[in-house]
Structure 1
Amino acid sequence: MEKEPGRRWESGTHAHGVSDPFGQGPLPWLRSPDQYVAGTEGAIAWYVSTDAPGQRPLPSAAPRPLVGAPRTSDDVVQQIKGFASAGVVLPGGSVDLRVTVHPPRDFVVDVYRIGHYAGAGAQHMTASPLIAGLQQPAPLVVGRTVSCHHWWHTWRLQIPVHWHPGAYVAVLTTADQRHRSHIPFTVRDPVGVGPAPELLLVLPDVTWQAYNLFPEDGHTGASLYHAWDEQGRLLGESEAAVTVSFDRPHAGAGLPLHVGHAYDFIRWAERYGYDLAYATASDLHAGLVEPSRHRAMIFPGHDEYWSEPMRRAAEAARDGGTSLVFLSANTMYWRVELTPAPSGEPNRLLNCRKRRRIEPGLPAAGPPGAASALWRDAGEPEQGLLGVQYAGRVAEPVPLRAGNTWHWLWAGTGLRDGDEVANLVAGEADRYFPKVVLPVHTERTLLAHSPYRDEAGRARFQETSLYRAPSGAYVFAAGTFAWSPALDRPGHTDERIQRATANLLDQLCKDG
């Protein structure tokens, strides 16, 4: 089916843009008016969701890109796209990039580390020599599962021993400066080497892949949310993939849909000198994280998809005295399985059947007898760890209404009971469910109780929770998608939320 000229057709990214209500957030190497272009007119900025409530409106006429400014590679032509191959990346180690270029031409890789860096938001770490690009084979498709594990290795980035662990982005740019794309990767802290940082940041790479619709071409791509039919129409969850692969680029600009929330927290935390270690959700699944070495584990953004090993590791951390901080909402909602890729690399396929019935014995089938892949239906509601759980989507951003402001978390914010923080309840929201068992605790406080309306116009409310386990560990759940953007995203920062978050982390580092 021929697409409308000059229009990016409906996509999974746009359909679920409400879950990142403020877009991706500022990325310092993307400050030119780059566009995701499906034709020659009507370009759409790649980080804007056109139909999500609360989004800024599109301009009446798309700005022209600067002369010579690279445009974002699309998933139709795939001018330049890539991903990082499997493996834990450590200082002194390496990361292999697999890149396709169409038509074949030279390209360069610039590597950035996300951080505050005097307000720049990232630091340029290194650049590759000119690399001869080649067009890789078409993605392999089995059912709805798309994988590029058969692509040739293109370039190996050696990580110097002096590089700090952190969130990194490889920026791919064709030598003719016409197209650009991105590959996120994480440099981890070597376990057992030297004193451990007090705070461990866990990046939600499992959830990032659940939303990844690559290739977003109206034909092949599929995520756990969407796929296309033969006419190029977008299908919903009932016909989406039940298995997706880590071995493929991210759709669109090559960055995950929710990556901005993690970057917001990183920039703010590094600005104020918090000592961070870095890992990913798949590291947590694989048992590569030692929570006992840290005062707290921080989950900075949307972290919806959890395997059983992930949950057991978090529970063991809490019960062992390591605090948990969840800075988003709708956490630990779907129960998933991670299985090896066809190449044998472990944990490269993400399996989740959602509410569908599939053949028993398949990785996506989940625990026997469960009505769906929800943790709730497996008999373990997420409130049993978080203290609150997912309640629904927020139609339009509304204020967070503070409560129990005598609590030390609100100290110095100036907030009193009933005071409001504008637009802080957005995207999705959590609340306390009275009929669901709470985790064992020695103290517990609800720090916000905020009314909002869901997409059907029904009155709902959001809550922010903090409890203390018998081990002494605290568990904080923000209960909204807008908490991290309030820390360091221009146009959305709020000094009261910054202060409350600092109070929380300072308390955990001192007493957690």
Structure 2
Amino acid sequence: MDAERDAPGSPEWRITSQGPAEAIAGYTDRVSVVPGQECGLFVSTTAASFRVSAFRVGWYGGALARRVWTSPPVPGRAQPAPLVLPETRTVYAGWRRSLPLDTTGWPEGAYLLRLDADTGHQRHVPLIVRSVRGVGRTVLVHAPATWQAYNRWGGASLYAGSSGAYQTRSLAVSFDRPYEGDGAGKFRVYEWAAVVLAERLGIPLAYSTGLDVHDDPTVLEGAAAVVCLGHDEYWTPEQRAHVTRARDAGTNIAFLGANTCFRRIRLDPASGPAGRTVVCYKSAYRADPCYPSRPDLVTTDFRTAPAPDPESSLTGVLYEGYPVDAPYVIHRPGHWIHEGTGVRAGDAFAHLVGVEYDRVTLSAPTPRMLEVTAHSPLVCQGQPSHSDSAYYTVPVGAGVFASGTMRWVEALAAGTGELGRDHGMDARTRAFVTRTTENVLRAFAEGPAARHRPEPQPDTAELYPA
């Protein structure tokens, strides 16, 4: 991978002309592939032809991506309108395949496929070229289930239906459709900057997705660390069990977001191809076919009935609220994660807490060796509370860090204009979050953190007295 990181970059990876929704859009028939595996690309366009370029995301001397492949011109076709499965209001495209993608020679990593119509309009399509083994490496776990949950292409997501109402939302969403907007989904906002930073550090990396960890946790075996990126809300019980088992075997975990592992989902062939459909009934869980025979598989919030299992036993913190915009306030300036940042107790970083946040909640399962590193006062929907960053260790030595705010990864690009919005965060905030993240990733790459970094000093009782 050193040769890959030293390769020349391709700064032209960005989209310069999105055009109207029908100009061009596409999706792949696999969320991830191993190097050399083929997948299909499905494209609809009003143009006579288009090309496809595959850009691997990384540092590349500041270019931020490298082009690894470009197709010849491909005949364009306007594909039919999407289809809807009435039982679950699932939207899927049902398009004909436009071309195969042979990933032979593509290095493991996170990719943005760029579709270039001959009219000049463009879209991205995310694809992960995943690692089979993660021994001794830091595994970046991407969150396509969450990307898809929020995707309203074709008129419906797990949040709203064609009417815009929650009541008409999809109960299951399909990967067989493009992502709305520029096509990059939540990857670009909540994950991209963390990939660039990890690549720049030069630590040994592996790439996977939550869906792959669900299917086969082999990539976690012997891994130095697992990194869950900025918005990783939707997990299967199997994924959660596999990540927890890795922690208990000595693998460090970093949660660089908030609202992580909040929704329990199922990958159910009853609503489409196996592994290509994310099922989550949420508040309508009594209509889930698994209710009441398999309460552990009912798709609702992990913390709620019929099988409550709050995420805090893994993350250390508990999702509390939305929306919020508040300063991030340092509580433990001398903690090793803050080395080199120069922070003092009470220092604040405007707008870093948002738009969702987590906090220590002692009424839920909470790790015993938990130390709060940032304790940020806020008001959410009229109620005063706090957002917490926290760190804990387990007996075998693994360390777990949770940022407690969804804007953590976005802050890695604050002030650069790269994401088009910074929520008011500035270069000072970017420098702080970057150095703190570097400290976490470098330490976690060395193996079980408790063996080479100071143990946490539990302080939850003083912050949240009974």
TM category, shorter = 0.7 to 0.9
For the pair 1:198 / 2:140, whether they are aligned, the reply is: no
Q: Is the 8 A contact 1:352 1:365 kept in 2?
A: no
Cα distance in structure 2, aligned partners of 1:168 and 1:87: 11
Corresponding residue number in structure 2 for 1:457:
382
Judged with a 3 Å threshold, the aligned counterparts in structure 2 of structure 1 residues 410 and 71 are, in CA distance, closer, same or farther, namely: closer
The answer as to whether partners of 1:329 and 1:429 remain within 8 angstroms in 2 is: yes
Question: Structure 1 counterpart of 2:124, which letter?
Answer: H
Q: Is the 8 A contact 2:84 2:90 kept in 1?
A: yes
Matched residue SS, 2:221? helix
Question: What CA deviation, in whole Å up to 9, does each residue of 1:69-98 have, x standing for no partner?
Answer: x33341xxx232110113741222223101
Residue 125 of structure 2, aligned match among 159, 180, 183: 183
**Identical amino acids, percent of aligned pairs:** 34
- SS in structure 2 of the partner of residue 314 of structure 1: helix
**Relative to structure 1, is the Cα distance of residues 269 and 181 closer, same or farther in structure 2, using a 3 angstrom cutoff?**
same
Instruction: State the shift of 1:30 in Å.
Output: 3.6
Give the structure 2 partner of residue 19 of structure 1: none
Q: Give the conservation status (yes or no) of the 8 Å contact 2:264–2:299.
A: no
Residues 126/292 of structure 1: CA separation in 2 closer, same or farther (3 Å cut): same
1:125-177: CA deviation from partner (whole Å, max 9, x where unpaired) = 221101012222322211211112x322211122233x321111111121132
Query: Of residues 251, 264, 281 in structure 1, which corresponds to 2:180?
Result: 251
Q: Establish whether residue 301 from structure 1 lines up as the match of residue 230 from structure 2.
A: yes
Q: Tell me, what secondary structure is at the counterpart of 2:344?
A: coil
**CA 1:260 to 1:289, structure 2 compared with 1: closer, same or farther past 3 Å?**
farther
Any idea what the Cα deviations from partners look like across 1:156-213, whole Å, max 9, x if unmatched?
A: 122233x321111111121132x2222110001233xxx8452000000010010011
Quick check: 1:146–1:244 contact (8 Å CA) kept in 2? yes
Is 2:286 the partner of 1:375?
A: no
Q: Give the Å deviation of 1:360.
A: 4.9
Any conservation in 2 of the 1:267–1:488 contact (CA below 8 Å)? no
1:3-152 pair list within 5 angstroms: 29-30=13-14, 32=16, 70-74=17-21, 78-86=22-30, 88-102=32-46, 105-143=48-86, 144-148=89-93, 150-152=94-96
In the TM superposition, what whole-angstrom CA distance separates every residue of 1:448-499 from its partner, at most 9, and x where no partner exists?
A: 1001121x23222100011001121111110001211232444445222222
Structure 2 matches for 1:151-230, cutoff 5 A? Answer: 151-161=95-105, 163-177=106-120, 179-191=121-133, 196=135, 198-215=137-154, 221-229=155-163
- Corresponding position of 2:275: 347
Name the SS for the 1:501 alignment partner. helix
State the shift of 1:270 in Å: 1.3
TM-aligned CA deviation for residue 387 of structure 1: 0.5
Cα distance, 1:120 vs structure 2? 1.7
Which whole-Å CA distance do the structure 2 matches of 1:415 and 1:116 have between them? 27
Q: Verify the 8 A CA contact 1:403 1:448 in the aligned structure 2.
A: yes
Q: 1:365 to 1:329 in 2, by over 3 A?
A: farther
User: What does residue 326 of structure 1 align with?
Assistant: 255
Unaligned stretches of 5+ in structure 1? Answer: 1-26, 33-69, 216-220
1:235 to 159, 162, 165: 165
What secondary structure does 1:426 align onto? strand
**Using the alignment, how far apart are the partners of 1:467 and 1:288 within structure 2?**
23
- SS of corresponding position for 1:385: helix
Structure 1 residue 387 corresponds to structure 2 residue 316: yes
SS at match of 2:107: coil
Residues 180 and 201 of structure 1: CA distance in aligned 2, closer, same or farther (over 3 Å): same
Give, as a single letter, the amino acid of the residue that structure 2 aligns with 1:502: E
- Deviating beyond 6 angstroms after TM superposition, the runs of 4 or more aligned structure 1 residues are 369-372
CA distance in 2, matches of 1:366, 1:224: 24
The answer as to whether partners of 1:301 and 1:328 remain within 8 angstroms in 2 is yes
**How far apart, CA to CA, are the structure 2 residues paired with 1:315 and 1:91?**
27
Aligned residue for 1:277, secondary structure, equals: strand
Shift of the 424–252 alpha-carbon distance from structure 1 to 2, 3 Å rule, reads same
Find the residue that maps to 1:447 and give its secondary structure: strand
Q: Post-superposition shift, 1:258? A: 5.0
Deviation at 1:358, TM superposition (A): 4.5
Q: What letter matches 1:227 in structure 2? A: G
**Change beyond 3 A, Cα 1:366–1:259:** farther
Provide the C-alpha distance between the structure 2 equivalents of 1:369 and 1:198, rounded to a whole number of angstroms.
32
SS in 1 for 2:77: coil
Secondary structure, aligned partner of 1:183 = strand
**Pair 172,341 (structure 1): closer, same or farther in 2 beyond 3 Å:** farther
SS at match of 1:395: strand
**2:464 aligned partner:** none
How far did residue 380 of structure 1 move? 0.6
Structure 1 range deviating more: 88-97 or 139-148: 88-97
1:444 aligns with 2:373: no
Which amino acid in the other structure matches residue 252 of structure 2? S
Q: Deviations over 1:28-62 (max 9, x none)?
A: 64464xxxxxxxxxxxxxxxxxxxxxxxxxxxxxx
Task: Give the distance between the partners of 1:478 and 1:322, measured in 2 at CA.
Answer: 18
Deviations 1:340-388 (A, max 9, x none): 2777x421111111111443525x9895399971100132111111110
Alpha-carbon separation, structure 2, partners of 1:379 and 1:196:
33
Q: Give the Cα separation in 2 of the matches to 1:88 and 1:110.
A: 17
Contact preservation (8 Å) 2:231, 2:259: yes
1:502 maps onto 2:430 in alignment: no
CA distance in 2, matches of 1:470, 1:95: 42
Deviations 1:203-231 (A, max 9, x none): 0001001001112xxxxx210001123xx
The residue type paired with residue 207 of structure 1 is T
SS at match of 2:159: coil
CA distance in 2, matches of 1:97, 1:370: 32
C-alpha change, 1:421 and 1:415, in structure 2 (3 Å) is same
Go from structure 1 to structure 2 and tell me whether the alpha carbon gap of 1:457 and 1:278 turns closer, same or farther (over 3 Å shift): same
| Deviations 1:231-288 (CA, angstroms, capped at 9, x unpaired) | xxx212x321111101111112212135322111011121221221101111011125
CA distance in 2, matches of 1:399, 1:28: 35
Q: Partners of 1:369 and 1:116 in 2: how far apart?
A: 41
Match of 2:405 in 1: 480
Q: Is the 8 A contact 1:117 1:123 kept in 2?
A: yes
Q: Quote the residue 1:15 is aligned against.
A: none
Is this contact kept in 2: 1:73–1:252, CA < 8 A? no
Which one is further off, 204-213 or 132-141?
A: 132-141
1:316 equivalent in alignment to 2:316 = no
Query: Does the 8 Å contact 1:394/1:425 carry over to 2?
Result: no
